Amino acid sequence: MTVTSPADLTIHEAVMLLDEGTLSSVALTEAVLERILTSDNDVRAYLTLMPEAALEQAAQADTLRNALRTSGASLPLLGIPLALKDNLSTRGVPTSCGSRILEDYVPPFDATVVQRLKRAGAVLLGKTNLDEFAMGSSTENSAFFPTHNPWHMDCVPGGSSGGSAAAVAAGEALAALGSDTGGSVRQPAAFCGLVGLRPTYGRCSRYGLVAFASSLDQVGPIARDVNDAALLLSVIAGHDAQDSTSLPDAPLDMATALCGHDLRGLRVGVLVDHEGVGVQPAVKRAVLAAVDTLADLGAEMVDVQLPHSEFALAVYYLIAPAEASANLARFDGLRYGYRAAADTLEELYNRTRGEGFGAEVKRRLMLGTYALRAGYYEATYIKAQQARTLIRQDFEAAFAHVDVIVGPTSPVTAFRLGERLADPLQMYLADIFTLPQALAGLPALSLPCGFDEEGLPVGLQLTAPALEETRLLHVAHAYEQATAWHTRRPNLTCSN
Amino acid sequence: MLLTREEVTQIAALARLALTDTEITLFQKQLTAILDYTALLQKLETGAVPPTATVLPLHTVLREDVPGACLRQDETLFNAPQTQAGYFLVPPIMVKE
């Protein structure tokens, strides 16, 4: 389609126009705010909007750009309007995590990734909806309201970073940050026809990301193309002394990542099916066609197996809730957040948490508490950690023979709102392809590779060895250059 | 294997969650279904496999013990549900007999 509003530009297109002087950040930000005004009543991507602050930042960015022009210096995201998932702490701006228990919570500090976006000159539009504490795959577990998929308003945008993905797909932000614990950046990106990147565990600081499962959580970008995802990654990545699980700085070569269409010499492992999981025929077709495209670009296809990935779901749903049950113990109604009326401390804890948390969070806290119970710990939690080792070893063995692994991001395209709420296990099964990478700490990326019969986007997932984001982006970019899926935008038919 | 109501109540007590009767009934079914599914891990032979707690090659991370910037009292108390004289106010922890 032809771009009719600056709100539909990619970051790199907008940067070009801003540098030329044919677009101002104020005009760009106004266009995005205008889109939010017309679309977000239906999409409902945002929990908090900061239009005045955003326009002020945009005006400052325009002034700064003029000043920098004479000196030849530049900031990578200067004047670019972005959105943040509402589990990233923002100084002076509510950070609810989609939960009643933090409904009125206003952090006194910025997450490191937020600081880095600000330092890079970004304009921050607001905070986006999510499944409560990032627990979910549809954004229906938000305590406030569900978000709709801009490609089909009756469908979920995926989750848990569904608000971020829906905002970017609808032109309500040029790009956004999400967080990925078991697929929460990649799956909504797939459902909304976007690029979503989960970085290597430890590549990006978790400081100020409200913790869900600390050994799995990573912040990642959701963007309209690979170039934009790479740009955002380069801004938010890097060691942070505030996060003891942050890795030392590792190379990230954007010039190499975004050059060339030639994949000769690249060995690609293909994994399309999964034991016991029905992959939707349209998803399978699109992924296999993408594999052909990679072969046309010169890549060599190699058989790989990840024999223990059939255990990934069971492992994840013991380890992540166990970590969550420890992390969410801090929400006790004493120092911040919701407090229920109670006469005793014990009653205060129980009622605050019973009333403040939604059903999915309670379910997982119970599951985690069960797994960590004295006497059951060895058979459940330790067993899951041992299986996690086997899953990691599968990847090590596979990457001895291949450079990247490709497959579907999700076995299905976006499903209908309400369709999977009654059966949590069915909902969890939608994450089957994104869990193994999270458990192994590997970087993985989802990008658009086609559409189903209903016009819903299909995501292709690429996985690389730890810290090989450059390779991941290179393959994704080459594929993107050979296809046009990423240029499509949803037809927003709004009710007002 | 169906969790009993007593087990669900006991887990909820450990997790500090006040549940309604309806929630107990619902979680009894749902947790049983999820735990039955995770039981497939028992098929795995994991005898000598070391557990993975973190994927990182890092171990204990140390830093210089120097004081950094910290929050002011008003920033610290800003989100508190109840305060009194610059303190967090909570229900009594110990009660005189």
Q: Which helix (H) or strand (E) holds B11?
A: helix B5-14
Q: A260, A396 in Cβ contact below 8 A? A: no
Task: Place A493 in a pLDDT band, splitting at 50, 70 and 90.
Answer: low
**CB-count exposure of residue A424 (10 Å: 0-12, 13-18, 19+):** buried
C-beta atoms of A247 and B30 within 8 A: no
**With 80 as the cut, is the pLDDT of residue A481 above it?**
yes
- Whichever domain contains B20, its CATH number is 1.10.20
Q: A123, A54 in Cβ contact below 8 A? A: yes
Instruction: Give domain status of residue B72, yes or no.
Output: no
Angle formed by the axes of helices A226-236 and A11-20, to 10°?
80
Q: Which domains does chain A have, with CATH numbers?
A: 6-263+446-487 (3.90.1300.10)
Which of the residues A184, A205, A325, A446 is marked catalytic? A184
pTM above 0.90, yes or no: yes
Instruction: Give domain status of residue B70, yes or no.
Output: no
Question: CA-based Rg of chain B, rounded to a whole angstrom?
Answer: 23
Total beta-carbon pairs less than 8 A apart between chain A and chain B = 163
Q: Which of A245, A367, A425, A426 to mutate to test the interface with B (most CBs of B within 10 A)?
A: A367
Instruction: Give domain status of residue B10, yes or no.
Output: yes
Q: Which two tokens stand for residue A154?
A: 């009756």
**Mean pLDDT of all residues in A202-225:** 98
Nearest CA in chain B to A339: B81
Nearest one of B82, B84, B76 to A107, comparing CA atoms? B76
Instruction: Give domain status of residue B29, yes or no.
Output: yes
- Summarised one tens digit per residue, pLDDT across range A156-190 is 999 999 999 999 999 999 999 999 999 999 999 99
Most confident option among A70-79, A398-407, B47-56: A398-407
**With 50 as the cut, is the pLDDT of residue A254 above it?**
yes
Q: What is the DSSP letter of A299?
A: P
Taking the C-alpha atoms of residue B29 and residue B52, their distance in angstroms, rounded to an integer, is: 30
Domain count, chain B: 1
Instruction: Give domain status of residue B79, yes or no.
Output: no
Instruction: Give domain status of residue B55, yes or no.
Output: no
- Summarised one tens digit per residue, pLDDT across range A99-150 is 999 999 999 999 999 999 999 999 999 999 999 999 999 999 999 999 999 9
- Summarised one tens digit per residue, pLDDT across range A4-42 is 899 999 999 999 999 999 999 999 999 999 999 999 999
In one-letter notation, the amino acid at residue A390 is L
Taking the C-alpha atoms of residue A273 and residue B43, their distance in angstroms, rounded to an integer, is: 21
Give pLDDT, residue A2.
46
Strands across the sheet containing A195-198 = A46-49, A123-128, A81-85, A175-180, A218-223, A195-198, A444-451, A457-463, A404-408, A267-270, A300-303
In one-letter notation, the amino acid at residue A454 is E
Q: What is the average pLDDT value for chain B, to the nearest integer?
A: 92
Considering CB atoms only, which of B11, B56, B91 is closest to A202?
Answer: B56
Q: How far is CA A144 from the centre of its chain?
A: 20
- The percentage of chain A sitting over the pLDDT mark of 70, rounded to a whole number, equals 98
**Residue A48 DSSP SS3:** strand
Q: Which helix (H) or strand (E) holds A407?
A: strand A404-408
Instruction: Spell out which residues of chain A touch residue B51, defining contact as CB-CB under 8 Å.
Output: 382, 385-386, 388-389
Residue A91: Cβ within 10 Å count: 16
Q: Which two tokens stand for residue A235?
A: 């801004």
Beta bridge partners of A452: none
Q: Report CA-CA distances (Å) from A401 to A199, A296, A405, A435.
A: 22, 20, 10, 22
What ipTM does this complex have? 0.95
Instruction: Give domain status of residue B88, yes or no.
Output: no
C-beta atoms of A325 and B12 within 8 A: no
Domain that holds residue B27: 5-42
Instruction: Give domain status of residue B37, yes or no.
Output: yes
